[in-house]
Amino acid sequence: MKIFFDVIVIGGGAAGLFCAIEAGRRGRRVLVVERNGRLGRKIAISGGGRCNFTNLYTGPEHFLSGNPDFCRSALARFTPRDFIACVERHGIAYHEKTLGQLFCDGSSQQIIEMLRADCAEAWVEIRLGCEISEVVRSGGFELRASQGDLAAPKLVLASGGLSIAKLGATDFAYRVAEQLGMRVITPRADLVPLTLHGERFAPLRALAGVSFDAKARCNGAEFREAALFTHRGLSGPSVLQISSYWRPGDAIHFDLLPGLSAGDLLTAKRRSAAELATVLAQHLPRRLAQTWCALEALSRPMSQLAERELASIAERLHDWRLEPSGTEGFGKAEVTAGGIDTAELSSKTMEAKRVPGLFCIGEAVDVTGHLGGFNFQWAWASAHAAGQYV
């Protein structure tokens, strides 16, 4: 026996729940289907457990897509201030950490409970541990589910991407979209640590756990934030950010002394008996200074370095070139880039142009934000847009 709803939302994460709330408030009978045994598993681990739920400086320039303008409409109609109003209405205390990033004072669970409460208030039904084995288009949509067959004239794909598979990430949204004749841009791991393999980089693996302030540049983009050495390569905010622009074979250029003049620093010490590594350790972590000198420059007393050598060393400090061998993949990626092609969707409603009644939102769509709350804001904004039309 089939159970009928006005709207079925597949995915009980940020985008799915928020879309369900908006649709429920408009009087729709809404069902959220989630294959996991609990809601918002990705929300729960975000922001170190405190959920970086938005960014005050959200704008289209913080998003990557095959169509950079696609996100403009949804972002303009549901802003960070709109979501902050939701948070404040529930009495959730929050703070700005840095660069406009907003976090809960308490835990991510507060955001999950806020969404759960709003779903209840909007009479949204939620089914956990419910697997969908088949989606059939027949005027509306019929779903073969582990908890019984379902049907609705409107279907929302909000099941996310492939990042963090241990939380239950799957390619479900992509498979359904392709089944229904829509184009999917090949997904790739994004906001992801990079790996450094090969004998040349062996000394860097001994720096695992060492962080440093850096400006990372690649393919015209640059980010100045902390970078971190790992046992496999590089991570930290600046590296995760630049990973969005890196492609295999590209080099990443690091300015190890952003905001300073390496030339002036070295020239001021050129008559010193101190070793180059000792001088650099005044501005870099000591172990990094020593390892960098071992890799890039012979660490002799400053007084023994010619002016031309100092100029070369200064240049390399501002442009340390590393060529990653790859990424740590979807298992460590914050988000998935690529996904359902935005050319298939209305930027106003998020409805599929060639499949009436099908809506695609959140990470499943080819819109990827920078690190720092932007992807959550896209989830809220795209969900809000779809929720007004389902």
87 Cβ contact partners less than 8 Å away, ≥ 6 residues apart: 53, 94, 111, 114
At 296 the pLDDT is 85
Mean pLDDT score, 276-305: 93
User: How many Å apart are CA 255 and CA 271, to the nearest integer?
Assistant: 25
Instruction: Tell me the helices (H) and strands (E) count for the chain, helix number first.
Output: 13, 23
pLDDT at 106: 97
Go through the domains of the chain in sequence order and give each one's CATH number: 3-186+337-387 (3.50.50.60), 194-327 (2.40.30.10)
- CA angle 116-8-27, nearest 5°? 70
Interval 160-184 mean pLDDT: 94
What is the length of the chain? 390
| Backbone φ and ψ of 94, nearest 5° | -145, 170
Mean pLDDT over 16-34 rounds to 98
**Residue where the block lists tokens 């074979």:** 249
Q: State the average pLDDT for the chain.
A: 96
Mean pLDDT throughout 1-8?
92
273: DSSP letter: -
* Separation between Cα atoms, residue 121 and residue 281, nearest integer Å: 58
Q: How confident is the model at residue 60 (pLDDT cuts 50, 70, 90)?
A: very high
Residue 241: pLDDT above 90?
Answer: yes
Residue 187 CA, distance from chain mean position? 13
Q: How far apart are CA 130 and CA 204, in angstroms?
A: 46
Confidence at residue 168, expressed as pLDDT on a 0 to 100 scale:
83
pLDDT of 332: 95
Over residues 37-53, the mean pLDDT reads 96
Helices within the chain (DSSP H only): 14-25, 41-45, 72-77, 80-89, 109-121, 172-179, 202-205, 237-243, 262-268, 276-280, 286-296, 307-318, 374-387
pLDDT tens by residue, 186-210: 999 999 999 999 888 899 999 999 9
Q: Residue 299 has what pLDDT?
A: 81
Q: Is 48 helix (H, G, I), strand (E, B) or coil?
A: helix
Residues 123-141 have pLDDT tens digits of 999 999 999 999 999 889 9
Q: Decide if pLDDT at 97 tops 90.
A: yes
B/e letters for 122-148, b = 16+ CB within 10 Å, e = fewer, are bebbbbeebebeebebeebbbbebeee
- Specify the pLDDT at position 1: 72
What was the pLDDT predicted at 200?
83
Does 37 score more than 80 pLDDT? Answer: yes
Give the distance between the most distant pair of CA atoms in the chain: 87
Distance CA 289, CA 12 (A): 47
Q: Kindly tell me if the per-residue pLDDT of 24 is higher than 90.
A: yes
Phi-psi region of 48 (alpha: psi -120 to 50; beta: other; left: phi over 0): left
Coil, strand or helix: which one is 186?
A: strand
Q: How does residue 56 score in pLDDT terms, banded at 50, 70 and 90?
A: very high
* Of 4-8, 101-105, 306-310, 349-353, minimum mean pLDDT range: 306-310
The token duo for 66 is 């095959």
Q: Are 83 and 21 within 8 A, CB to CB?
A: no
Q: Is the pLDDT of residue 298 over 80?
A: no
